[in-house]
Structure 1
Amino acid sequence: MAREECKALLDALNKATARYHHLMLTVGGSADSQNLREELRNTRQKAQELAGATRVRLTAVLRDRGLGAEGRAEFERLWVAFSGCLDLLEADMRRALALGAAFRLHAPRWPLVRTGVAPRALSTRSLRQQADRDFEVADLRELEREILQVGQMIHDMEMKVNVPLWTVQARQAAGAELLASTGASLAGGVSVDENSGPCDPSKALAATVFSAVLLAVVALVVCVAKLS
């Protein structure tokens, strides 16, 4: 039951982190807007809430001395995946901070004097722009604090649960799924019907070229898997 709960939390965290990464890439672009900045804030806060819940659940399980060896290995794999997800979230938050500071949506065009009394000539539009500027400044400051909080969370995780990354073994080799799908495509591409007559030279040439390309892809995937 705990394993399924942790997997569900981790899956939700992965989705929130992936969404945040996608939104972060649009900061400073043509799609950048006030709505985007607000969605970024909501998404990162949701990701942090999920990260907090996942950390509490995994920490409690891994600190249980009655946990069996097989169960511990499974939860350690989840812990490593969770740790990597947090690292990516922190890195994206730092990029979002840098981009948000570089590409200000509502940079003031003239000095603002705060006297405590709004001038009569201040229009509703100006008030709205001022509110947007205040939100942007407050959001960047809040983002700075949240980056420190995520960094502290990562530090606390390392102190409370000792799971060296090099001791955790994956269930399958790197790139195994991609190699399997590529191999299946290769087998399907070079299959020959035993009941068919003499082959067409043009079709045989096309099949040979296709097979060579697929073999090159397989070789590239193997090299990447070995280097990763």
Structure 2
Amino acid sequence: MLREECKALLDAFNKVTACYRHLVLTVGGTSDSQNLREELKKTRQKAQELAVANRNKLTSTLKDKSLSKDDKAEFERLWVIFSTCMDLLETDMRRALELGQEFPLNIPKKHLIQTGMSGGTSGVAARAMSVQNMKYDADRNIDVMDLKDLEEEIHQVDQMMYEMEMNINVPQWTVEAKQNLGAELKATVSAEASTPGLALVEERKAICDLSKLLAGVVFSAVLIIAIVLAVCVVKLS
């Protein structure tokens, strides 16, 4: 029961961090908006809540001296997966901070650069200069407070990861994989080979190759006969 609980908690954390990464990649793009920034904030806060829950659960479990050898190995594997997800979350939070600083939302529409969509090159250059020379009012910038919060949260995540390493030291190379090397690839190949449609394709391919071989043999025989006949005609003449 404890294994399944930890796996479910880790799976939820993994899904939220993946969602957060997807949202971060859209910052500064055509779909960027205040709604996106709010969704980013909610998602990263949810990820941090799940991170704390995973850390507490796995830490208390791994410190249990009564764990069997198999259980300990399984929870250490989950711990490595959790640590990797934490690294990804911290990286994406830093990326979100950089993009948020580069692409503030309060730029007036008249100063946005329409890159090739409308206007001549002189108009685009003029708008670019306007953006470069603009000074943003921090009090009116809706992103300022959120970016400050994000900086603090990044620091908290870094501190959390440091404490995790100090409390539970599980080097990644000491954790054994649950599958043999290449097991997934072999399973995929086996599944494809067992597919009736693929088997039919392979059979047709074999027949096609045999037909090509026979055609080549016949062509070579005809060519040899033609050469022999030509030589005979030359000698007789």
In 1, Cα distance between equivalents of 2:63 and 2:45: 27
Partner of 2:5: 5
Shift of residue 154, structure 1, vs aligned partner = 0.6
Aligned to 1:51: 51
> Given the alignment of the two structures, is residue 140 of structure 1 paired with residue 147 of structure 2, yes or no?
yes
SS of 1:191's partner is helix
Which structure has the larger Rg?
Answer: 2
Residue 95 of structure 1 is matched in structure 2 by 95
Contact 2:16 2:46 in 1 (8 A): yes
Post-superposition shift, 1:166? Answer: 1.0
Measured at CA, do residues 200 and 175 of structure 1 come closer, stay the same or move farther in structure 2, by a change above 3 Å?
closer
Runs of at least 5 residues in structure 2 that lack an aligned partner in the other structure: 109-133, 210-237
After TM superposition, give the deviation of residue 57 of structure 1 in Å. 0.3
TM-fit CA distance, 1:175: 4.7
Letter in 2 for 1:22: H
Listed one character per residue, the Cα deviations across residues 146-171 of structure 1 (whole Å, up to 9, x for unaligned) are 11111111100000012111110011
**1:15–1:190 distance in 2 versus 1, CA, 3 Å:** closer
Residue of structure 2 equivalent to 1:123: none
User: How far apart are the structure 2 equivalents of 1:151 and 1:66?
Assistant: 31
Distance apart, 1:178 and its partner CA: 3.6
Aligned residue for 2:4, secondary structure, equals: helix
Q: Deviations over 1:74-93 (max 9, x none)?
A: 00000000000000000000
The whole-number CA distance in structure 1 between the counterparts of 2:137 and 2:71 is 61
Compute the RMSD of aligned alpha carbons.
2.6
Q: Could you tell me which residue of structure 1 aligns to residue 199 of structure 2?
A: 191
> Is the 8 Å Cα contact of residues 24 and 40 (structure 2) preserved in structure 1?
yes
Q: Which residue of 2 aligns with 1:24?
A: 24
Tell me the equivalent position of 2:68: 68
Name the CA distance, whole Å, in 2 between partners of 1:89 and 1:65: 30
C-alpha deviations, 1:24-76, integer Å up to 9, x for none? 00001000000000000000000000000000000000001111100000000
Alignment match, 1:204: 208
Larger CA deviation: 45-54 vs 170-179: 170-179
Identity %: 57
5+ residue gaps in structure 1? 115-129, 194-198, 206-228
How far apart are residue 190 of structure 1 and its match? Answer: 5.7
Aligned to 2:159: 152
For the structure 1 residues 81 and 202, does the alpha-carbon distance in structure 2 shift closer, same or farther, using more than 3 Å as the test? closer
How far is 1:110 from its partner?
5.7
Normalised to the residue count of structure 1, the TM-score between the two structures is 0.73
- For 2:107 and 2:71, locate their aligned partners in 1 and report how far apart those are by CA, in whole Å: 54
Q: Distance in 1 between matches of 2:2 and 2:159?
A: 25
CA distance 1:66–1:201, shift in 2 (3 Å): closer
- Report the Cα distance in structure 2 between the residues aligned to 1:183 and 1:171, rounded to whole angstroms: 19
Contact 2:55/2:164 (CA < 8 Å) preserved in 1?
yes
Judged with a 3 Å threshold, the aligned counterparts in structure 2 of structure 1 residues 91 and 176 are, in CA distance, closer, same or farther, namely same
Q: Distance in 1 between matches of 2:28 and 2:137?
A: 25
TM-score, normalisation: structure 2: 0.70
**Matched residue, 2:177:** 170
Shift of 1:179: 3.3
Partner of 1:105: 105
Instruction: Using the TM superposition, give the Cα deviation of residue 176 of structure 1 relative to its aligned residue in structure 2, in angstroms.
Output: 2.5
- Decide whether the 8 Å contact of 2:77 with 2:176 is kept in 1: yes
Residue 179 (1) aligns with residue 186 (2): yes
- Give the AA of the match of 1:69: K
